[in-house]
Amino acid sequence: MLKGKILVVGGGIAGLTAADRLGRAGLEVVLVEKSSANGGRVAGLHRYYPRLCPPRCGLEILVNNISGLSNVDMRLQTELTGVQKNSPGIWTVTLRNTKQEADEYQLKVDGIILATGAQLYDASLIKEYGYGSLPAVITSMEFESLFRPDGPTGGRPVHPVTGKPLKRVAFIQCAGSRDKNHLPYCSGYCCAVTLKQIEYLHQSCGDIGTWVFYKDIRTPGSKEEYYRHVREEYRPVFIRGLPSSVEYEGGKLIVRAEDTLSGKKVKGDFDLVVLAAGMVPPVLPVIDGLEKDRYGFFPGHTPCDPTELRRSGIWAAGCAQQPMDVEDSVRSALSAVAQCLVKLHQQPSAYPEVNKKKCDHCGRCAKECPYGACILGPDGYPEVYPGDCRSCGICQGGCPLMCINLPGQGIKKIEDVVDRVLSGGVPQPSVLLFLCSNDAYPAWEKLTGQGGNIEGLEGVVPIPVPCIGSVNMSWINEALIGGLDGVMLAGCHPDQCHHGGGTSLAGTRLQNLRETLGRMRIEPERIYSTGITIDDTERLLGEIRRFGDLLVKMGPSPFK
């Protein structure tokens, strides 16, 4: 039986789905929800698209399943206030009862799924649409409540203030989204939501006019069919133009826009204006080293692994990843669950070992580890949790004393090459070529065949490394002082490094090394670094040749 304890943060559709599946897989699950009820945003919806089925159905199944699982501990009114990693592979989380301020306690868990959802954008910030100051300007979420028996109109879709039947309703898309003054990104879910709302408005009100003000309708995949269905079946008026203002005159809401397709100004009066408001990232306690995107979401390593965050053992699910609809939230929760199970199940990959005799506890390895797999233990020595390590070797690249190394990597390899150079076994110019095994090394192999070399440049000694960030500067130093003519590093392009900062870390370290070498009368030009993608074989060849030519021109190493 699989063992492990997972914290799921958020009791919305993503969190419930994750807790249910993890629970069924036999893991111990703690599900925390800040509010007093489960269901999150979904609990406030009238219907799902495209089937127009009630959300309660799926929610109840999930909640019933979870209540039947003794290994899932559902804690309502509980908030996550802190996350720390004090021992390898174990997160210490701080939880707080939202009813009793002082009631704070800690738990140790093996993994965390952040399913915190997103907040809705405050539509009153879009001044020109008058939300919050004009009557009957509402958000799409409030529109949902007009259909709910527990809503302000008792489930009758009528004017929320006067209670009269609705005759003309305007939907304004991109309310806050795709706008540099508000949210620069597309919230992704609002187009289909509006189509859905048009459908049930027409179904329940019969004689009604619906207008949609939009700039693009974004209904990717099968949602396009739904878009076509709504257009054809209910024939709403689509105005391709965002309104510049909503005003209140004589009991009506006046919407002014330009229909950009005809180039004409349009003005319409409506009983109700629905703003398709966007989503804002969740508010979370600071988790050291967990990178957000520029907006505050956790999209992961796109496109190769959207579940992979910069802290191993933490996954984001649902709208915490990026704005998304229910279908995508469920899908994202399931993928977070899958990755969580993989992590608890997998054979650990190669991970670095620490030479405690040499280590002086500087903590650089722990600081630079892109996954938080390496931490300083209670004795002050670095500890690497194998399950979290991605074997990138960035720790070994940064260690000033070379005391943390991946198996098979290390200064020994370099010393061997130096010995060969000194014994005359390497033709000139002798070049140590470090190649990132993700991209540059396969390109090199394509170029030279297995174990081959470049004609006229037989002195190039290739050394594959897991990431260019794993190259320790002392190796380069050793090679140059040992008499090699040059060192070349072929990594990935800085923004393409799978481990995030590998290439840029190597760049910074090289800069420092060049300065040191300059003081030792070694020309800094003897070190060359470049970014190579897997299909860059010709460029790699060209760069190696150019570097070889330069070294020939510079003459042999002064240390030879």
Residues that bind other proteins (CB under 8 A): 128, 174, 178-182, 215-216, 240-245, 256-260, 263, 265
Backbone angles phi, psi at 107, to 5 degrees: -135, 150
Of residues 241 and 469, the one with the C-beta less far from other proteins: 241
Of residues 69 and 254, the one with the C-beta less far from other proteins: 254
Of residues 17 and 177, the one with the C-beta less far from other proteins: 177
Q: How far is the CB of 261 from other proteins (least distance, A)?
A: 9
Q: How far is the CB of 123 from other proteins (least distance, A)?
A: 15
Q: How far is the CB of 271 from other proteins (least distance, A)?
A: 21
Of residues 185 and 559, the one with the C-beta less far from other proteins: 185
Distance of alpha carbon 272 from alpha carbon 284, whole angstroms: 35
Q: How far is the CB of 176 from other proteins (least distance, A)?
A: 10
CA atoms within 13 A on the CB side of 340: 33
E strands, 420-549, in order: 431-436, 460-465, 486-491, 527-531
- 3-state SS class at 90: strand
Instruction: Name the residue among 447, 493, 448, 432 with its Cα closest to residue 467.
Output: 493
Of residues 125 and 334, the one with the C-beta less far from other proteins: 125
Of residues 214 and 385, the one with the C-beta less far from other proteins: 214
Q: How far is the CB of 309 from other proteins (least distance, A)?
A: 30
Point out which residues pair with 273 in neighbouring strands.
137, 170
Token pair in block for residue 181: 């003054």
Torsion of CA 489, 494, 497, 501, to 10 degrees: 100
Of residues 254 and 550, the one with the C-beta less far from other proteins: 254
Q: How far is the CB of 180 from other proteins (least distance, A)?
A: 5
Exposure string over 53-70, b if 16+ CB within 10 A, otherwise e: eebeebbeebbebbeebe
Token pair in block for residue 317: 């699910």
Q: How far is the CB of 260 from other proteins (least distance, A)?
A: 4
Q: How far is the CB of 299 from other proteins (least distance, A)?
A: 22
Backbone angles phi, psi at 264, to 5 degrees: -105, 150
Of residues 100 and 181, the one with the C-beta less far from other proteins: 181
Q: Name every residue whose Cβ is closer than 8 Å to that of residue 325 and which is 6 or more positions away in sequence.
A: 188, 189, 192, 193
Three-class SS string for 369-421?
A: CCCCCEEECCCCCEEECCCCCCCCCHHHHHCCCCCEECCCCCHHHHHHHHHHH
Instruction: Name the residue among 334, 316, 319, 322 with its Cα closest to residue 21.
Output: 334
Q: How far is the CB of 249 from other proteins (least distance, A)?
A: 16
Contact 273, 255 (CB under 8 A): yes
Question: How large is the angle between the packed helices 190-205 and 223-234, nearest 10 degrees?
Answer: 30
Q: How far is the CB of 243 from other proteins (least distance, A)?
A: 6
Q: How far is the CB of 435 from other proteins (least distance, A)?
A: 39
Question: How large is the angle between the packed helices 55-67 and 13-24, nearest 10 degrees?
Answer: 40
Q: How far is the CB of 215 from other proteins (least distance, A)?
A: 4
Of residues 258 and 523, the one with the C-beta less far from other proteins: 258
Token pair in block for residue 127: 């001044």
Contact 476, 484 (CB under 8 A): no
Burial of 194 (0-12, 13-18, 19+ CB in 10 A): buried
Distance of alpha carbon 347 from alpha carbon 520, whole angstroms: 46
Place of tokens 């380069």: 476
Contact 335, 324 (CB under 8 A): no
Of residues 250 and 263, the one with the C-beta less far from other proteins: 263
Of residues 256 and 539, the one with the C-beta less far from other proteins: 256
Of residues 173 and 307, the one with the C-beta less far from other proteins: 173
Contact 513, 527 (CB under 8 A): yes
Question: How large is the angle between the packed helices 537-554 and 440-448, nearest 10 degrees?
Answer: 80
